[in-house]
Structure 1
Amino acid sequence: MIDRAPAATLVIFGATGDPTRRLLAPAPVHLMGDGLLDDGFKVLGVAREMGDDAMLCDRLENFLREDGALEEEGDQRDWDALRDRISYRSGDFADEALFTALATELSGPVIFYLATAPSFFGPLVDALQDAGLLDEADGFRKIAVEKPFGTDLASSCALNARLLGRAAETQIFRVDHFLGKETVQNIMLARFGNALTEAVWNNRYVDHVQITVAETVPVGSRGAFYDATGALCDMVANHLFQLLAMVAMEPPNRFDAEAIRDEKARVLKAVHPVRPEDTVRGRYVAGEAGGKSVVDYRAEQNVAEDSRTETCVAAKVAIDIWRWAGVPFYLRTGKALTARESEIVIGFRDAPATSFEGVAGERPANELVIQIQPREGLHFGIVVKQPGPTLTTASVALDFCYAETFGFGRPTGYETLIYDLLIGDQTLFQRADMVEACWTAVVPLIEAWRQGEPEDYAAGTTGPAGAAALMARGGRTWRAIA
């Protein structure tokens, strides 16, 4: 039985923006339906747009309805109950009077969720501290910061120094929403909770690891942000390295936040700086992806005509840990690709072929596929005998799907993150040293990619040809994006 979270006020800066609409708004509704929110839970939205409580509530309800978050039985009842706890305050984030008013209005435990552009992170935390809003005398005060945490190593270190100059590490929750997904959280349990998997989770049995986060959507309206960031800084130095850490970490001596984050940090600090020759960067040109026409990346709104920004990255990464000595980790992410697919593939070594000489059929190496989205589950490929009088082999799958087994259908993952914020569990949130280790690994690429051009690939394909060639150099192939 999961305990209710304690009473608290969730203050959302940027309450009328896109992150709130797509990701944050559904989570409290679902937590309400699950009985995990205390009767004293409240939401205070803060944004520059003029309006009142009813404006924000109507806006959020429209968001939820458009995204289908109110379709399940009971969702409307849960929303109606939550709506009565929502209030709104308009104001300029640079206006000291806004924070003075908040200090008068707020009491008890508070979470400040910064669902804003990264440029506001530092100034908002400064303003909160200056107004006394981070003083924990009458209850916890926590700050949730969405990625990206800087744009390179220097800016990341500067942001961490600024935040830690105003708040304790225990008050700062750096959010990577991928870590809230059920299948990502299941990685540790699938490994450490099963003797079979943990016994073979090393370089004696594992040939390589693939981590793919593929999207069909192009940059669209996010051109200004994306052109200044690119796939490397937006995805590789954040989402993909966090997934890598969960796959490669050593068993923690206990399952609490700091022990787990210590092990993840050790992995990230052991990642070799990625060599430019072990990477491929691509940029989409016109085509069709996700059933829609896509223009050239350079023709997207707010993208520079002479942009060198990559929209796809493939990289070979090495980790300086005994368990993974000689095992390459291949990372791949991109926009406007052929399908939306996020998964981790543990590719095992081939079984000795001596016993199978002359035997017909296919005998691919075993692989464990951890499917993150859109189908959440596990898929284990094994070799069996085909029915019939002759000895012929075939490849089949042992398959598990969350939705089919548990009826789980809430896709944002923010339910877990908001609940963990309320109870103070930092397991799924990044620590300053982890963030800086990720940036350290990609410093050579940031420097090298200031020159040259990405390789073009047509929207709706699997990415640049160089990505396949990168795998082929090691005698391997990517698992198909489908």
Structure 2
Amino acid sequence: MSTSTEIDNGLPLDMTIFGGMGDLAMRKLLPALYMAYLHGNLPASTRILSTGRQDYDRAAYLAFIEEHSRSFISGDNFNEKSWAGFLDLLVYVKVDVATAPVFDTLRDVSRDGAQRVFYLATAPSLFTMICDKLAATGLVDANARVVLEKPLGRDLASAVEINEAVGKHFAESQIYRIDHYLGKETVQNLMVLRFGNSILEPLWRAPNIASVQITVAEEVGVGSRAGFYDSAGAMRDMVQNHLMQLLCIVAMEPPTSLSPDAVRDEKLKVLRSLRRMGLADIARDTVRGQYSRGVSGNQEAKGYHEESNVPADSHTETFVALRAHIDTWRWSKVPFYLRTGKRMARRSSKIVIEFANPPFPLFPETPGGVANRLVIELQPEEAIKLQIFAKQPGSGMLMQQVALNLDLQSAFAQRRAEAYERLLIDVVRGRLTHFMRRDELEAAWEWVEPIINGWETLGEKPHAYAAGSWGPPESFALLARDGFGWVE
């Protein structure tokens, strides 16, 4: 989605990746930048500076890239000549963020007059230090941009602290708080689906919609992230950012334009309209879970307590389900069910809009009382399905549910960029629409933090669920008491 505020200043680009030798850079950032380079979406004069503490010469650095990053580029997209050209853009800069008084080695290789983008693919605890040292080294100017990876803080106070520290050196228009879910094609398509189709917009409200489900299910466990994950949990790692952003796009009012602030203003209104939960609400409307030993992908899977770096007495949740309400005219009495978890039955992210049944049951044999549904699948496939009823062939008026399917991958001839590639191009071109504004981030924490604190006050352990399942039974009961069920 282009905007009227898109910036194309024609400057050469110096993109610096702090944490440039880390897992995120190898798996996501460098492959995404390679794809942007391959398709001509980087400025002609681009350099990608990777920082690290190792004593690498150029040969050792490129060997590391070959070993750890090249395999994340699909064979269909890999081209030896293009790969060699991309490697020519890469520069290794030895920088020990924690001990260097200033980033003199980075200053020495930075080009005067270049568009500087600083991507902070590090622990959030280093964000303040990095920004302070960038400013002290003289590398922050009016054209500079900084990209902040999630999670941005672990509570409201730490998020405010980081925002204020970064804001001392970068204006809000220079700060890109990245959430890769906002780079997914289907998520961006939600805006067009909602506001570009007159058949849907009049129905997108109560009482036409009975409920909304948002699921982000992961088949994998915590793996090598256990050390970080155990201090965060599913609420901080997934709900506070990914699911909150999806909720905002589903529930927002039409913006006055497609400018970044117009869109983000409407998302902020949703966050501020979320009904706050007290202890009784938390006990009734939230479910925490933690996976135990089970079978995932036809293989035996460890329980959470068996993962490396997980304390034996950990009560960290790997699953969250909750019921939320948005107190506006559009969404009055419409429950929003959010669910996310590790080691679930399969990888699946989807949004389900369940429409209300007709006011009079002309066809009493409606199978299972299931209403019409709009199912928006985000991953692993990207598709939109409208589930309606049709008459079964034969005598009588028996109904059967059928689906009108739109496979977005086959509907368009254009290549579909991955989320990080699309968002990195947005950063280079100065597009802020698909990045969180400071007040958005803090409003999300204001709603999430009391729930986390409430769990601690209630002192309840997470409910166990077997790896390879769809979560604890309590999450199904959460919907069943309202007459709904999770759509798998």
Partner AA of 2:181 in structure 1: F
Q: Does residue 122 in structure 1 map to residue 121 in structure 2?
A: no
Q: Does residue 289 in structure 1 map to residue 292 in structure 2?
A: no
What is the alpha-carbon root mean square deviation over aligned residues?
A: 2.0
Partner AA of 1:426 in structure 2: L
What residue in structure 1 maps to residue 26 of structure 2? 21
Q: Does residue 255 in structure 1 map to residue 258 in structure 2?
A: yes
| Deviation (angstroms), 1:240 | 0.3
Q: Does residue 335 in structure 1 map to residue 342 in structure 2?
A: yes
What residue in structure 1 maps to residue 53 of structure 2? 48
Following the alignment from structure 1 to structure 2, what is the Cα–Cα distance between the partners of residues 279 and 74?
Answer: 45
Q: Does residue 385 in structure 1 map to residue 391 in structure 2?
A: yes
Once the two structures are superposed, residues 55-93 of structure 1 have per-residue CA deviations (whole angstroms, 9 ceiling, x without a partner) of 3333333334422x1411564333222111111012210
Q: Does residue 39 in structure 1 map to residue 47 in structure 2?
A: no
Q: Does residue 91 in structure 1 map to residue 99 in structure 2?
A: no
Of 368, 378, 382 in structure 2, the residue corresponding to residue 376 of structure 1 is 382
After superposition, the Cα gap between the structure-2 partners of 1:420 and 1:360, relative to the gap in structure 1 and judged at 3 Å, is closer
Aligned to 1:351, the other structure's residue is in SS state: coil
Once the two structures are superposed, residues 18-73 of structure 1 have per-residue CA deviations (whole angstroms, 9 ceiling, x without a partner) of 11122111111211222212211110100112213333333333334422x14115
> Is residue 52–residue 89 contact of structure 1 (8 Å, CA) maintained in 2?
no
Of 209, 232, 236 in structure 1, the residue corresponding to residue 235 of structure 2 is 232
> Is residue 224–residue 302 contact of structure 1 (8 Å, CA) maintained in 2?
yes
Number of residue pairs matched? 475
> Is residue 272–residue 319 contact of structure 1 (8 Å, CA) maintained in 2?
yes
> Is residue 284–residue 459 contact of structure 1 (8 Å, CA) maintained in 2?
yes
What residue in structure 2 maps to residue 192 of structure 1? 195
Of 200, 206, 209 in structure 2, the residue corresponding to residue 206 of structure 1 is 209
> Is residue 53–residue 86 contact of structure 1 (8 Å, CA) maintained in 2?
no
If the length of structure 2 is used for normalisation, what is the TM-score?
A: 0.93
After superposition, the Cα gap between the structure-2 partners of 1:73 and 1:303, relative to the gap in structure 1 and judged at 3 Å, is closer
After superposition, the Cα gap between the structure-2 partners of 1:452 and 1:440, relative to the gap in structure 1 and judged at 3 Å, is same
Q: Does residue 313 in structure 1 map to residue 320 in structure 2?
A: yes
Following the alignment from structure 2 to structure 1, what is the Cα–Cα distance between the partners of residues 320 and 139?
Answer: 41
What residue in structure 2 maps to residue 80 of structure 1? 84
Q: Which runs of 5+ in 2 are unaligned?
A: none
Following the alignment from structure 2 to structure 1, what is the Cα–Cα distance between the partners of residues 424 and 194?
Answer: 25
After superposition, the Cα gap between the structure-2 partners of 1:363 and 1:394, relative to the gap in structure 1 and judged at 3 Å, is farther
Of 15, 34, 42 in structure 2, the residue corresponding to residue 10 of structure 1 is 15
Following the alignment from structure 1 to structure 2, what is the Cα–Cα distance between the partners of residues 289 and 114?
Answer: 34
Following the alignment from structure 2 to structure 1, what is the Cα–Cα distance between the partners of residues 366 and 352?
Answer: 26
Once the two structures are superposed, residues 426-464 of structure 1 have per-residue CA deviations (whole angstroms, 9 ceiling, x without a partner) of 101001111111111122221122222100111111001
Following the alignment from structure 2 to structure 1, what is the Cα–Cα distance between the partners of residues 408 and 366?
Answer: 35
Following the alignment from structure 2 to structure 1, what is the Cα–Cα distance between the partners of residues 413 and 377?
Answer: 16
After superposition, the Cα gap between the structure-2 partners of 1:173 and 1:373, relative to the gap in structure 1 and judged at 3 Å, is same
Partner AA of 1:302 in structure 2: N
| Deviation (angstroms), 1:362 | 6.3
After superposition, the Cα gap between the structure-2 partners of 1:293 and 1:411, relative to the gap in structure 1 and judged at 3 Å, is farther
Q: Percent identity?
A: 41
If the length of structure 1 is used for normalisation, what is the TM-score?
A: 0.94
Aligned to 1:354, the other structure's residue is in SS state: coil
Following the alignment from structure 2 to structure 1, what is the Cα–Cα distance between the partners of residues 385 and 204?
Answer: 16
After superposition, the Cα gap between the structure-2 partners of 1:388 and 1:63, relative to the gap in structure 1 and judged at 3 Å, is farther
Structure 1's consecutive aligned runs of 4 or more residues displaced over 4 angstroms after TM superposition are 1-6, 359-363, 407-411
After superposition, the Cα gap between the structure-2 partners of 1:84 and 1:396, relative to the gap in structure 1 and judged at 3 Å, is same
Aligned to 1:372, the other structure's residue is in SS state: strand
What residue in structure 1 maps to residue 222 of structure 2? 219
Once the two structures are superposed, residues 76-122 of structure 1 have per-residue CA deviations (whole angstroms, 9 ceiling, x without a partner) of 33322211111101221024365123223213111000111122111
Following the alignment from structure 1 to structure 2, what is the Cα–Cα distance between the partners of residues 49 and 229?
Answer: 29
What residue in structure 1 maps to residue 66 of structure 2? 61
Following the alignment from structure 1 to structure 2, what is the Cα–Cα distance between the partners of residues 131 and 270?
Answer: 42
> Is residue 31–residue 70 contact of structure 2 (8 Å, CA) maintained in 1?
no
Higher deviation after alignment, 91-100 or 380-389:
91-100
Following the alignment from structure 2 to structure 1, what is the Cα–Cα distance between the partners of residues 341 and 211?
Answer: 21
Higher deviation after alignment, 446-455 or 312-321:
446-455
Once the two structures are superposed, residues 163-221 of structure 1 have per-residue CA deviations (whole angstroms, 9 ceiling, x without a partner) of 11222111111010111010011111110010111110001211010000000101111
Partner AA of 2:250 in structure 1: V
Following the alignment from structure 1 to structure 2, what is the Cα–Cα distance between the partners of residues 47 and 369?
Answer: 44
User: Which runs of structure 2 are paired with 1:352-367 in the superposition (5 Å)?
Assistant: 352-357=359-364, 364-367=370-373
